A = this chain, B = another copy of it.
Amino acid sequence: MARVAFIGLGVMGYPMAGHLARAGHEVTVYNRTAPKAEAWVAQHGGRSAPTPAEAAEGAEIVFACVGNDDDLRQVTLGGDGCFAAMSPDAIFVDHTTVSAEIARELAAARPSSLDAPVSGGQAGAENGQLTIMVGGDATTFAAAEPVMQAYAKRVGLMGAAGSGQLTKMVNQICIAGVVQGLAEGLHFAMEAGLDADAVVDVISKGAAQSWQMDNRAKTMVRGEFDFGFAVDWMRKDLALVLDEARRAGVTLPLTALVDQFYGDVQKLGGRRQDTSSLIRRFRG
């Protein structure tokens, strides 16, 4: 069992840190709003610390799961950030979805760093069934991987620093295409007067099948979106994708278009709704 720190107790981090405690690790938590850290300790034991630096003192692995690049820079390299307080051989694992650029920047500052964004959403974090896409060196990965198993369904080392973030970006690009196709298809079906549920039952057995069709089509038809992965988060991720694509000289016309459509959905009041609310761009 390891002595670990966990920075960021949001909807993902809170249950992930809980799985580490349940697996027998000695966990010190830090959260920007302290009452949540106190609630976590009351539920799981362990300790809370007033700063990322103090949480990281003496830890073998420091995990972070915060909001964005700025938050991540603050809790690592900022005043009271964890990097200055970590022992030379301690490992840093970032579970935030951020730019590949900051992942490389942190790995340059501390080579024993891993970028390790997750997919599987809040339900995956709570059930300990996340997919973790990791960038970094193989030795660091081998040391951290058994600990991450506390909340993982699948952990893959994808390449050097930044590769975890890039893999997560591929995931989001593919989802953008699937959901947009599904939104247009269901919109067309409903406007054409078809029974959209019956259409899904038939076409989901063939080449049009997708996880999104199996799990989101019928709620899209019913206009139910108050669950799942929020449009605001998807737009944050698509901004990272499009920035990276611009840097790499890669054009992604569908991804750019879907990002704009999600902007329309935000205007329609869908900021906290599941990504399947993309169909609202067409149906209101």
Q: Which residues of A contact B (CB under 8 A)?
A: 100, 119-121, 131, 133, 153-154, 156, 158-159, 163, 166-167, 169-182, 184-189, 191-195, 198-199, 201-203, 205-213, 215, 229, 241, 244-245, 248-255, 257-258, 282
Contacts and interface: CB of A to CB of B under 8 A. Distances in A.
B203 A159 contact: no
Nearest to A182: B174
Given A175-B207, A181-B175, A203-B119, A170 B188 contact: yes
24 contacts: A119-B208, A131-B203, A133-B203, A158-B195, A159-B193, A159-B195, A170-B185, A170-B186, A170-B194, A171-B203, A171-B207, A174-B208, A175-B208, A178-B208, A180-B254, A181-B181, A184-B252, A184-B253, A191-B250, A192-B250, A206-B211, A208-B211, A209-B210, A210-B210
Nearest to A214: B209
A117 to B, nearest CB: 11
A15 B88 CA distance: 69
Instruction: Count this chain's copies in the assembly.
Output: 2
Given A205-B154, A253-B257, A185 B198 contact: no
A99 B121 CA distance: 41
Contacts of A215: 207
A208 B248 CA distance: 23
Shortest 8 CB-CB contacts between residues of A and residues of B: A177-B181, A210-B210, A173-B185, A174-B208, A209-B211, A174-B185, A156-B202, A171-B203
A210 to B, nearest CB: 4
A182 B207 CA distance: 13
B166 A194 contact: yes
A238 B100 CA distance: 37
A202 B154 contact: yes
Nearest to A160: B193
Given A156-B202, A178-B178, A178-B210, 11 more contacts: A119-B206, A131-B203, A154-B205, A163-B194, A171-B203, A171-B208, A174-B208, A177-B184, A184-B252, A207-B211, A254-B254
Contact of A192 (B153, B202, B211, B244): B244
Contacts of A194: 158-159, 163, 166-167, 170
Nearest to A213: B174
A243 to B, nearest CB: 12
Contacts of A199: 158, 167, 170
A115 to B, nearest CB: 13
A158 B202 contact: yes
B166 A192 contact: yes
B181 A178 contact: yes
A244 B100 CA distance: 43
A169 B188 contact: yes
